[in-house]
Chain A
Amino acid sequence: MNEATHDSTEQTDRKREERREFHSYVWGVGLALILTLVPFALVAWTDIARQTLYIVIGVLALVQMVVHFRFFLHLGLRRKREDLHLILFSALLLVILVAGTIWIMTNLSVRMALPMMP
């Protein structure tokens, strides 16, 4: 008898967990959809100044990446920390490498009058 009630609570726990995880994916898709549709619409149908558009596209892309990490890859602040550290450190390396490369190459092209800047 005891065993049976224990099993059934475990089963309702599981059902609840399944619903929660299903909702995580639905939320993820919903948010990702909005964050995709907005920049596409802005580029396709509006005449906003290019610099503003670059910033909007960049910010929305970063937010969408966070949404994907959070809702599809289930990455969170209260989960196991080592993995979050791995990802954050890789992100730091990425920023240093990419920003450094672009900085150096832009500088080079300006000084050498290469056809990089418009």
Chain B
Amino acid sequence: MSRNYQNFQYPGLNLGSAHPEAHKAAESMMFGFWVFLMSDAILFGMVFATYVTQLHATAGGPGPQDLYDIKSVFIETMLLLASSFTFGMASLSMKYEHGKAQLIGWLTITLLLGLAFLGFEVHDFLSMIDKGGAPERSGFASAFFDLVPLHGLHVTAGCIWLLGLVGQMLRYGLDTRTKLGVMRLALFWHFLDIVWIAIFSVVYLAGLA
């Protein structure tokens, strides 16, 4: 009987036989969330296209070489990758029932990594503005501040969502609703890491190459 549960129902970690109720409820909900993620990806794609068309529209102002700091971007990349891993550990800890404390522990580490990422990003933006690359300086600067902070805003939303989920867990315990919340946030978090790959490659590495 448990064999049935080994068939994956959707992309992402499947809860399986130990969580029959949540596993059944998850199928349509996860599919719906994937539809949202894909429309979000289209949104990001269009903002990327805007950025690329504005690459040389610096209007005599500072360009990528003057504004970007590869060290800071590298640290941000590592933080986000580490947070993807720790969220994976949180998902596994929930699926294999290692207890609420361990799950909240992994989620807290993920949150801290996310907040550290945001801290570095805000520092980057401020130093860019300091160097004369404020959004109103040129088409290039506007397009940059349209794209990268949009991702940062998504990460911020993810952090707030994570806090809300931990609150829900403390108040109601690990019921079906919180489990499904963790699984959707996991998809969201891993998705944002994929968008970040595009950002560090297209914006930062190509800009500094």
Contacts and interface: CB of A to CB of B under 8 A. Distances in A.
Contact of B42 (A36, A39, A61, A94): A94
Nearest to A66: B194
B145 interface: no
Contacts, number: 144
A63 to B, nearest CB: 10
Contact of A86 (B38, B77, B96, B209): B38
Interface string A83-110: 1101100100110011001100110010
Contacts of A60: 201
Given A32-B81, A43-B205, A106 B197 contact: no
Nearest to A21: B92
A69 B187 CA distance: 10
Contacts of A82: 31
B84 to A, nearest CB: 6
Interface in B150-209: 187, 190-191, 193-194, 197-198, 200-202, 205-206, 208-209
A101 B205 contact: no
Nearest to A89: B38
Interface in B55-89: 55-59, 70, 74, 77-78, 81, 84-85, 88-89
B59 to A, nearest CB: 8
A101 B12 CA distance: 31
B11 A84 contact: yes
Contacts of B95: 18, 21
Given A21-B92, A74-B8, A86-B38, A106 B53 contact: yes
The 9 A-B residue pairs whose C-beta atoms are closest, nearest first, are A90-B38, A61-B201, A101-B49, A105-B53, A25-B88, A75-B11, A94-B45, A53-B209, A72-B190
